[in-house]
Chains A and B, each alone.
Chain A
Amino acid sequence: MSNDNNNTVGLILDALKFKDQKLNLAGGEAAIEKQHAQGKLMARERVLALVDEGSFEEIDKFVKHRGTYFGLDKKEIPYDAVITGFGTANGQKIAIFSQDFTVQAGSLGEMHAKKIMKLQDLALKYGIPIIGINDSGGARIQEGIDALFGYGGIFLRNTHASGVIPQISVISGPCAGGAVYSPAIMDFIIMVDEISQMFITGPAVVKAVTNEEIDKDGLGGAMIHNSISGVAHFIAKSDEDAMNLTRKILSYIPSNNQYKAEDIAYNAQQQLDERIYSIVPTYPKKAFDVRNIITLVFDAETFLEVQPYFAQNIVIGFARIAGRSVGIIANQPNILAGVLDINASDKSARFIRFCDAFNIPIITFVDTPGFLPGVDQEHGGVIRHGAKLLYAYSEASVPMVSIILRKSYGGAYIAMASQHLGADFVYAWPSAEIAVMGANGAANIIFAKEITNSPNPEETRATKIEEYKNKFSNPYIAAERGYIEGVIDPIDTRKIIIKALSLAEDKVEMRPKKKHGNIPL
């Protein structure tokens, strides 16, 4: 090459470098400083915290908006306020978009949305998870209905990708109005404490319409959505924490619905010991924390609880057993006696369907007194919400193993991954009580006449309750019918789950052809 040519190439490269560096200035020094002062990372810093070092490949950095109204044509909006590209997390390929609040408040305009849509299309085509980091003031009003076109296109793609590739949303700032529905359609929402909010309409509109006074965090802060509304699944302490959590979640799930999550190395020596006997109290009315069983049964330190603050009467989460990724559903006797109610049904049904969509086996632990009675529940539609739980289990075709620890009565027995709904292996601990209803209620109905006619009704009632309890409040009648595969020594629980999963590993379920089911929503 001649010297002359070298010089020209040098100049051309300088021009590129200059353009690139200008874009890297994002919203300018003052905006960056403000972002950092709020304890927030920059959009690019978040991406780099998420991906494996050196793996990020940005696309569409030079994309420019086309707005002309309200002086927008004179506005520089670097990369139209959203960074898009690909990288790897734990070696797994992912697609990422990250909105930049320092640039025009991260507002979503036509080109901003087109960048996201393109990334969604590519992620779906490549069969890789997509991670969206949200930090945006909302629609770019100056672009008018072009912004609405943008949101609509994103929702459509979110929906088409649902159940095909995993979609995780991190809320690292405001997320209001139309913007909330993309995360809501995705699989998991992580909200960063104190810096993120989600709401359809903000405090000002709420005040104007309903005269309720509330601040942003009280209306839609991270803890509200993690504990009360059930909109979010995780709360992170900081942006860095949120990115680590995203990587952790990704480690349990495959790239798309055609694959299984990869097994990892595990300690083959791990066995259950006597501690397992001391967790469930022998007195059946005493509560315990079901998570103590989970942490003993599954591979050490692999349990990741999902929605730990919402509907705490049911515990859901990911874990590994013999290196294999599984989803866990467990009644929590410590909270509200472990009842099934509207929120517990919604929470678990959605998680079951996620696991099923992505070929993650489901392990269920049962100890529930049943569905919660009450006017609130009935009027709130516990029938249609509870039905989701039954629907989700019945629909699932992944390997399913259930362990009945203690109470398993009536409709709740059926609902909690019984053989009747398609579980592959159902085992009971000797402490299990599998019956059509509790001893008190059953005795009152069956022996109603004897009790009323008795000279001492209370005594007769007590005797009859005891009689019923002895006869039916155990796992053996169910075992005699073959409704459960067996009654097991609790110390064998881990071993049995591992065997069952390996047996059912390549399970095939034949189902009638259909467009899609009609889950009771």
Chain B
Amino acid sequence: MKTFKVNVNDKSYVVEVEEVKYGYSFTAAVKPAQVTANIKKVGDSKKKAVGGSFIIKAPLPGLIVEVAVESGKAVKQGEKVLVLEAMKMENAILTPVSGIVDKINVRAGDSVNSNQEMIVITF
């Protein structure tokens, strides 16, 4: 269970989020208003496609040693997008989809946690 603060029309809501296998169930707990929402996603949590974009997340906690792509450039499925040093290994992270690199959230030298969003690819 994680707690998030969400601002809607200048009003703050504190929301508790529980991650379940195939979806997120949101239960709002705190004032000023009671909010209940259900947001669903289907499929592999790693391959979370939201409106034609794909988020590459860190599979292991580690250190970014190389970012192999540039923002705005096209990438092909299976291409190396970055190298993550973790568990005594330099792990090549490949993109599972072809598309355009939309966002790069990490730089060489950055430490990342598991599941941290690193690169967004739109397709």
Contacts and interface: CB of A to CB of B under 8 A. Distances in A.
B90 A287 contact: yes
Interface in B1-39: 20, 22-23, 25, 38
Interface in A195-215: 210-215
B2 to A, nearest CB: 13
A336 interface: yes
B87 A212 contact: no
Most buried by B among A212, A286, A407: A212
A438 B44 contact: no
Contacts of A372: 60, 87
Nearest to A409: B88
Nearest to B25: A211
Contact of B42 (A218, A285, A370, A376): A218
B42 A336 contact: no
Contacts of A244: none
A512 interface: no
Interface residues of A, number: 27
Contact of B91 (A219, A287, A376): A287
A337 B87 contact: yes
Contacts of B85: 285
A460 interface: no
A88 interface: no
B96 interface: no
A214 B42 CA distance: 6
Contacts of B90: 285-287
B22 A218 contact: yes
Interface string A363-403: 00000011011101000000000000000000000000000
Interface of A: 210-215, 218-219, 227-228, 284-287, 333, 336-339, 369-370, 372-374, 376, 407, 438
Interface of B: 20, 22-23, 25, 38, 40, 42-44, 59-61, 85-92, 114
Given A287-B89, A287-B90, A370-B87, 7 more contacts: A214-B42, A218-B43, A227-B44, A228-B44, A287-B91, A338-B89, A372-B87
25 contacts: A211-B25, A212-B22, A212-B23, A212-B25, A213-B40, A214-B22, A218-B43, A219-B22, A228-B44, A284-B88, A285-B85, A285-B89, A285-B90, A286-B89, A336-B59, A336-B60, A337-B87, A337-B89, A337-B91, A338-B89, A369-B87, A369-B88, A372-B87, A374-B61, A374-B114
